[in-house]
Structure 1
Amino acid sequence: MTDHTTSAPPVHALLADGTTVCIRPVAAADHEQLRGLYEEMSPENLRLRFFGLSRRSAEMAADRACAAPHRGHRALLAERAGQVIGLAEYDTGGVGTEADMSIAVADGLHHRGVGTLLVEHLVSAARAEGVTSFAADALSENREVLRLFADLGLRVGRRFEGPEVRCTIVLEEDDTYFSAVEERGRAADVLSLRPLLRPQAIAVIGAGRKPGSVGRAILHHLKAGGYTRRMFAVNPAATSLLGVPCHPSVSALPRTPDLAVVAVPAAGVPATAEECGKAGVRALLVVTAGLDADQAQALLAACRTYGMRLVGPNCLGLSNTDPELSLDATFAANHPRPGTAGVAVQSGGVGIALLDGLSRLGIGVSSFASLGDKYDVSGNDMLQWWESDGRTRLALLHLESFGNPRAFSHTARRVARRMPVLTVDAGRTDAGRRAAASHTAAAATRTMTRAALFTQAGITATRSVGELLDAAALLHSQPLPAGPRIAIVTNAGGAGVLAADACAEAGLTVPAPTPHLVDDLLALLPDGAAAGNPVDATAAVTEDQLAQCVDRLMRHGDADAVLVALVPTAVAAATGDDLVRAVTRLSGPRPKPVVAVRLEQALPVELLPATDGSSVPSYAEPQAAARALAHAMRRTEWLARPAGTVPGLDGVDTARARSAVETYLDAHPDGGWLGPRECAALLDCYGIPQLPWAWAETEDDAVLAADRLRGADGRVVMKGHWPGLLHKTAEHAVHLDLRGDSQVRAAFRDLETRFAGLLTGVVLQPLADRGTELFAGVVQDEVFGPLVLFGLGGTATEVLADHAARLAPLTDHDVHDLITAPRCAPLLFGANGARPVDLDGLEQLLLRLSRMAGDLPQLAEADFNPVLATPGGVTVLDARVRLLPRRPHDPYLRRLR
């Protein structure tokens, strides 16, 4: 059991009412405050806590909590503005994995989630230290604490003993517990954002008297945008600015604002934040840029101390277009049009482009946040706000960094089930790639990691702001396609060919029409028309003919969407036909998406008003239309799949694996690559199949080992080993197909001679059967967590780069995606009449690798190459594992950044 008591850092988290508290380990200096916590309790609460009244109870409880840290004991306190408001602790007594647990909350702060939050953090700490259950005693009349235990989401047993009840809380965190924690966190997060996004009073601090300052621009925008609540300016040199009452300081305001907009020079930001906190301000929007490290730390410290949520610094501002509020606290050139798209960006320039684009399209904006340097409020917060605001139908993100990608992924998966979530995949060419110490690390680029995050979370990832708006226009205005089959109709053959190429390149299909459909279309269209796919309706097509053709294609069962590619012609102009109107005329609800491509269109994308009040997206390029349809199709596929589950695994010994890791790191404090014996033992803890092997340090030992390992054909393989050796084949440290003792001896002498001073021994294995050589590995990304990779293996794995990746923990669907995504997948399923490999065994290998990475945060990377897959089984032929000293990280623990 590892003791982390003294090293756990303080964290800040949200209570049920959205206010902020600090959770940290108890220190000896907290004794007086802890004693005061108990002494200030009412006699009734003291009786419920200690089962009686005693003047010594408070002193003894404080002594116990502040005792010198020891194994099996953990005490955590909650404090707000430096005042202790709650305490939770457990103690195993130094033995076993069951701990006695107790909890206390200050009078006047019950029903605000203090106790629940403390217990959640205590559960996380206990599990990291090997504790499997809590035992807590309570009076049966203490309904509050009994309800707290029951609502945790953990399995709770009760045993009544007279007036007391013994509660046993099993610390098996599963989906029920994670869902309960997630729901508590979501509710608290949304409440904490209300002062930011629905403030009842705003103060702009730093608005100048002369035009040109950012603060003045925001004040002007607030007033011109029609903000419906109280508004103040803070400037000691003025009494009124732009008709808004001005006061010399925050403390002089006639009422405390919910939100303070800070637009003062960087040097003044910390003091301004401190003043706001002392005055009771609940949220800050800091647009100031250029804060140095000390100023940044002081700003965040003030926000945490006084429980203020923070947007920024270095940002464009925020907006909420709800007519009841009309909040536009930005310095963008224009006010956003009210609508249904929620927008969160880190780049102010991207934010302006999205606000203008969405307003121009008519989609509009529900709320907007420019997150800037993102000290606090993040994309994860905004997703939760949009999920519950009742106005947002489309979520658009531009995030250059992720504070807690695992929490973001969990939230995005949930939100994406309710509305499309779109992002620009910024930073795809980030050069900050980790050193390629192994095949796994070489393959695990940041681009691949982000792609895995977006794919698993159901996020529509685009490559530019323009592509984001293209996809948003379609998802806002059209139903989702049922599949990838696109019917194309055009009045110019060349435009149809361009559209067909674009669809194929986007991963869509352009199927040939059935004979019956061909006959129907030719009966509708003018002479000379060709009813293939694309349908060439010719320049002679009339508005009515084209409308009927689109309607027929849309209602035919062999197409999932219709793309209409149009060019202006003198023929249509002469007859007065409006071919665009043929696309927007609706005779009833459209069951499939319809998009237009107009090659002469000036804007990249427009939404054309339809006769029923809806709209049809129109693109200037067929590639844009095809990409938008492909994004919609992938969303259809993602929504059609169940969420997936993480299967249970038998034959896993996590406790032994953790013990082995701690033993290694005790001997190697800086970490390193495990030796063959240590590596094999770790894989054995997770039931990962390995080819039989033996270790030899002398020539005679090698001969004896070879005799034991030889299969029916008598052939063995010898691999040299020394600390730091990674690519044995590249170093020519492998001898294959060794027969008889003389060849074994010669191979050993060769390795011993060529690698004198390096070689510490050799690994011998029987020569493996023929099969498909694969690669499986995992990298523990510092930000994103464990990333599992899979693909074609062998010596060419990096050259061919045939890999797929998913973030752990892997669900059953993730494993299926990993196996089917690489180009080598047909080899696994039995290409050219061959038998398929052991797919169940392959799935088990990946699930066990994922489990190992999730259990062991110290596992920096693991590299299985090759993995031999045959119809009879899956076996790891060579494995490497690197450990680093890292603390356990609970991705589900509620805490602020």
Structure 2
Amino acid sequence: MTDMAHRPDTVHALLADGSAVEIRAAGPQDRDEVLRMHREMSPEDLRLRFFAANPRYAGEAAARICAPARPGYRALLAVARGRVVGVAEYTTLPAAPGEPVSADMALAVAEGRHGQGIGTLLLEHLVHAARDAGISTFTAEALAENHAVLKVFADLGLRTSRHFDGTDVRCTVHLEEDERYLSAMDQRGRIADVASLRPLLRPRSVAVVGAGRRPGSVGRAVLGNLRSGGFGGALYAVNPHADVIEGTPAYPMVAALPLVPELVVVAVPAPAVPKTAEECGVWGVRALVVLTAGLDTGQAEALFTTCRRYGMRLVGPNCLGIANTADEARLNATFAAHPPLPGRAGVAVQSGGVGIALLERLCRLGVGISSFVSLGDKYDVSGNDMLQWWESDHGTRLAVLHLESFGNPRAFSRTARRVARGMPVLTVDAGRSDAGRRAAASHTAAAATPTMTRRALFTQAGIIATQSIAELIDTAALLYAQPPPAGADVAVVSNAGGAGVLAADACVEAGLSVPVLDTALADELLTLLPPGAATANPVDTTAAVTADRLRACVDRLAAHGAVDVVLVVLVPTALATGTDDDPLLALTGTPGRRPRPVAAVLLDQEPPVRLLASTDDRAIPAYAEPQSAARALAHAVRHARWRAEPPGTIPPLSGIDTAGATAMVEEYLTHHPDGGWLDPRACAALLDRYHIPQLPWAWAEDEDSAAAAVRHLTDEDTRMALKAYWPGLVHKSDQGALRLDLEGAEEVRTAYRELRERFGDRMTGVLVQPMARRGTELFAGVVQDEVFGSLVLFGLGGTATDLLADHAARLAPLTDRDVHTLITSPRCAPLLFGYRGGQAVDLEGLEQLLLRLSRMACDLPQLAEADLNPVIARPDGVVALDVRLRILPRHAHDPYLRRLRAARTRHGV
């Protein structure tokens, strides 16, 4: 056997019980292991596998599976700790040219390893490989009594049919990936992920390696926190120079422990980390938390490889530690100075400093922590893992993330979309000062800054992205304590008119509304308040208001339905403060739950935000500044609106020729291995494969063919455009490579001569097109981000594209909901819907163009950039005038295929 952990084609993935296996292609070096696996199968398993319990079939299978690579055949192995525990294979069947390709497949799982999900995991990866090879269906023969393998096919999530023939059954599995299949993979991945994290976050035994004999060491601090936090499982220290540390028995090495700990916390110097990890892996440890910082490249790679080889989940290195405050866990494996207060917020951060700040503020606020993970350099366990853990944890009501990098944003987005429908997911949108990519290659690349890309991810996933930690805490307080608002209408109630005005301004500036109350409600409130009150909104109760009167006013507004939120702004006065008529009692002493959220602004309070205990068991968030309250309310309104809308679906598109487009791209890369910009003819042909509307065009390489194109393209009255082209030309208008509004063939001929004289042999030809009728000039484009995948951009087009930067972006694939928000997000959106009595453009045609552009980006990972500018939108249609497409040699990557990270980097969610 080779060292498979270092093979470039090795993928690691989790099984249903949380253990990990390697998935990789079989090779001649694996023959002995594959033969061993088959020979160890019981006679009954051999009969079900080969339809007869003949031992010689084991040798034949091993020879076939481990033969040198050959066309039309593929075999994948599942390997655990160097042992082959499963095999999946397919053999392509003959097919006529142009006909769908099918393959026979077979599956085997090692004796004693059934029920762990090995076969299903192998099938998922075999399906992925088959799709890449152009195979559309699998067929498999099985005995009708082989219920286990039939269940694997049925539960896979792909469309499957069965044909029974006596004691045999033939299964046909259709390999089209759809939402049902992705959801089935999600569910399997979630079960496996949560199971793999249990030894980490709910361990029954913990050992701390590197706990020093004297106070002051990181390891000793962690050991002390574990003891003082009340960890109820077996607890050990590992130190070769002590027998007892902090009242905890100590042993010289991991292998000397009286039992195999589920979790080991590593706090040793960087050079000792790889050896410690190896000892833990050999001993059977399930999870590591590596606090150590400063690992060099070799040490980091050794740590990562060891964890993958032995299937250990890893937090860190360079981290603060982990905590779980649940009664059944009581785990505080951090070196934080203060223990986390038990509560309802799950927190995961990369920065230890940010983690300490969030722990301190959430605990001081009273929200508390359900679980905390300091991800550190994030070699393995990530934000995606933690989202799935919190989703399964009934003690978590808020998910708080602070991530500095993303490795698989599309998988993260899919998980976050699901989790955010059950609980708020909050983050800080860090790194906004990045100037972005300075790409002169196209408008698309120039517009697609990292900030825009990250915000597209957050928006689509329903993640609440704040601008600071303070704003995150403000928002968390509201979401934790109060129900979600049904809308953005706010009633501002204040005992000081000027303070009410400031709060109303803050609400409007945050995107909320402060509507005038209807006359009947306003008059009713006047009967509740002291003389001199004003009730238009803001409601000025006057400084003379008593607690009872203020309570009656707030309760009436919260119950009426004229507004969605009540914001109470109180200024301390000498009239009632500290007495039974203190207006603050109006907030906290209500007899029943108010049906709508209520928040407060207390201009005299010192903490920026706090929770006021209330008799209705629903705390009132109180802020020191109106702006803080307004921002928190705006985030809550947007999140509630996102949750109220149904999840989007990817609409079916007719007329798509994916095979033809793929063939075009592959042929181009055959002749241009380094990639490049397609010429205008290839651009037009590729857009035709996706039925993206374009102006009629003709290619001309001399003045005669340019003049002749006029007669072929349009009638004599239509004016023409000439667009010069040569490889590397970026912005035609900047180069003077455009001639517009040409009348007739002679003007076209003259214009061609002018262009030829100006650019000489550099110009390889011109694109001849009729001038488009006037309409709204828009911009649509795609950029393939190395980390985030395909990003679709849309906004104001023409020469103003870069100047005004009126763009919005969404990650592909676009759903019907995504495309709607993409069209309505730019500032120019009112122009599309009939601004000031004008006609609306063809919105359905515009949506189709963006959806087809998204589909093209998903089908063709080689499409590095697509720049459609301008796109003319009119009431009678949408058409792309100018198109630029750049192709690079890239391979498809399925972001949803179940696998752990394949390399040790600082990326990954």
Q: Is the 8 A contact 2:600 2:622 kept in 1?
A: yes
CA distance in 1, matches of 2:289, 2:55: 48
Question: Aligned to 1:602, what secondary structure does the other structure show?
Answer: coil
Does the CA-based 8 Å contact 2:782-2:867 persist in structure 1? yes
Per the alignment, residue 527 of structure 1 pairs with 531
* SS of alignment partner, residue 729 of structure 1: helix
- Of the three residues 688, 691, 715, the one matched with 2:692 is 688
Shift of 1:431: 4.3
**Matching residue within 324, 327, 334 for 2:328:** 324
Q: For 1:17-59, what per-residue CA distance to the aligned partner results, in whole angstroms no more than 9, with x for missing partners?
A: 1100011111221122222222222222222222224454233
C-alpha displacement of 1:450: 1.1
- Deviation (angstroms), 1:64: 2.1
C-alpha distance 655-434 of structure 1, shift in aligned 2 (>3 A): farther
SS in 1 for 2:691: coil
User: Is 1:782 matched up with 2:786?
Assistant: yes
- Where in structure 2 are the equivalents of 1:479-878 lying within 5 Å? 479-573=483-577, 577-711=581-715, 713-878=717-882
Q: How many corresponding residue pairs?
A: 892
Pairs within 5 Å for 1:341-490: 341-431=345-435, 433=437, 435-490=439-494
Change over 3 Å in CA distance of 1:389–1:823 after alignment to 2:
same
CA deviations over 1:831-858 (Å, ceiling 9, x no partner): 1222211111111111111111111111
Instruction: Specify which of 102, 111, 114 is matched with residue 118 of structure 2.
Output: 114
Q: Distance in 2 between matches of 1:711 and 1:787?
A: 39
In structure 2, how many angstroms separate the alpha carbons of the residues matched to 1:131 and 1:873? 38
User: Would you say the 8 A contact 2:93–2:102 is kept in 1?
Assistant: no
Distance 1:388 1:461 in 2: 23
Contact 2:716 2:744 in 1 (8 A): no
Give the residue type in structure 2 aligned to 1:171. L
Aligned CA RMSD, in angstroms, stands at 1.5
Give the deviation of 1:740 after TM superposition: 2.2
SS at match of 1:795: helix
Instruction: Name the residue aligned to 2:304.
Output: 300
Instruction: Write the distance in 2 (CA, Å) between the matches of 1:576 and 1:44.
Output: 82
Is 1:101 matched with 2:113?
no
How far apart, in 2, do the equivalents of 1:673 and 1:258 lie? 54
Contact in 1 for aligned 2:435/2:449 (Cα 8 Å): no
Tell me how far 1:818 sits from its aligned partner. Answer: 0.9
d(CA) in 1 for partners of 2:687 and 2:568?
A: 56
The answer to whether the aligner puts 1:58 opposite 2:58 as a matched pair is yes
**Quick one: which amino acid aligns to residue 822 of structure 1?**
P
Deviations 1:214-249 (A, max 9, x none): 101100111111111110000000000010000000
Partner residue, 1:887? 891
Whether 1:87 and 2:87 are equivalent positions in the alignment is yes
Does structure 1 residue 24 correspond to structure 2 residue 28?
A: no
Displacement of 1:8: 7.1
- DSSP-derived class of the 2:544 partner: coil
Structure 2 Cα separation of the partners of residues 643 and 564 of structure 1: 34
**2: CA distance, partners of 1:317 / 1:524:** 55
Aligned partners of 1:233, 1:575: CA distance in 2, in Å? Answer: 56
Partner of 1:70: 70
**1:667 partner letter:** H
SS of the aligned residue for 1:570 comes to: coil
Residues 791-828 of structure 1 show CA distances to partners (whole Å, capped at 9, x for unaligned) of 11111111111111111111111111111111111111
Where in structure 1 do 4 or more consecutive aligned residues deviate above 4 Å?
A: 93-96
Q: Secondary structure at the match of 1:647?
A: coil
2:662 touches 2:860 (CA, 8 Å); kept in 1?
A: yes
For the 8 Å contact 2:464–2:635, the answer to whether it is kept is: yes
8 A Cα contact 1:403 1:783, kept in partner? yes
* 1:285 has 2:289 as partner: yes
Cα pair 1:777 1:788 within 8 Å, conserved: yes
What SS is found at the alignment partner of 1:848?
helix
1:842 & 1:646 partners in 2: Cα distance?
16
The superposition leaves residues 698-722 of structure 1 with CA deviations (integer Å, 9 ceiling, x where unpaired) of: 1111111122113462311100001
Residue number in structure 1 paired with 2:907? none
Distance 1:240 1:880 in 2: 70
Residue 734 of structure 2 aligns to a residue whose secondary structure is coil
The CA distance in 2 between the partners of 1:881 and 1:41, in whole Å, is: 55
> 2-side partners of 1:714 and 1:457: how far apart?
47
Aligned partners of 1:8 and 1:25 also within 8 Å = no
Task: Determine which of 227, 231, 238 is the counterpart of 1:234.
Answer: 238
Task: Answer with 872-881 or 741-750: which moved more.
Answer: 741-750
What is the percent sequence identity of the aligned residues?
66
Q: Partners in 1 of 2:279 and 2:377 — Cα distance?
A: 22
Q: 1:90 corresponds to which letter in structure 2?
A: Y
> How many angstroms apart in 2 are the aligned matches of 1:131 and 1:746?
53
Displacement of 1:613: 2.9
Displacement, 1:594? 0.7
Deviation at 1:636, TM superposition (A): 1.3
**Structure 1 counterpart of 2:41, which letter?**
M
The residue matched to 2:399 in structure 1 has which SS?
strand
1:741 partner letter: A
Instruction: Give the conservation status (yes or no) of the 8 Å contact 2:723–2:737.
Output: yes
Structure 2 CA distance for aligned equivalents of residues 291 and 410 of structure 1: 33
In structure 2, distance between residues paired with 1:597 and 1:505: 16
Q: Which amino acid aligns with 2:192?
A: A
Please report how far the alpha carbon of residue 557 of structure 1 lies from its aligned counterpart in structure 2 after TM superposition.
1.9
Return the TM-score normalized by structure 1: 0.98
Q: Distance in 2 between matches of 1:8 and 1:650?
A: 39
Tell me, yes or no, if structure 1 residue 189 matches structure 2 residue 176: no
1:696·1:761 contact (CA, 8 Å) conserved in 2?
yes
Distance (Å, rounded) in 2 between the aligned partners of 1:789 and 1:829: 19
Q: Which amino acid aligns with 1:578?
A: D
Contact in 1 for aligned 2:201/2:329 (Cα 8 Å): no
Give how far 1:550 is off.
1.2
Q: Deviations over 1:233-276 (max 9, x none)?
A: 00000000010000000000011100000000011101100000
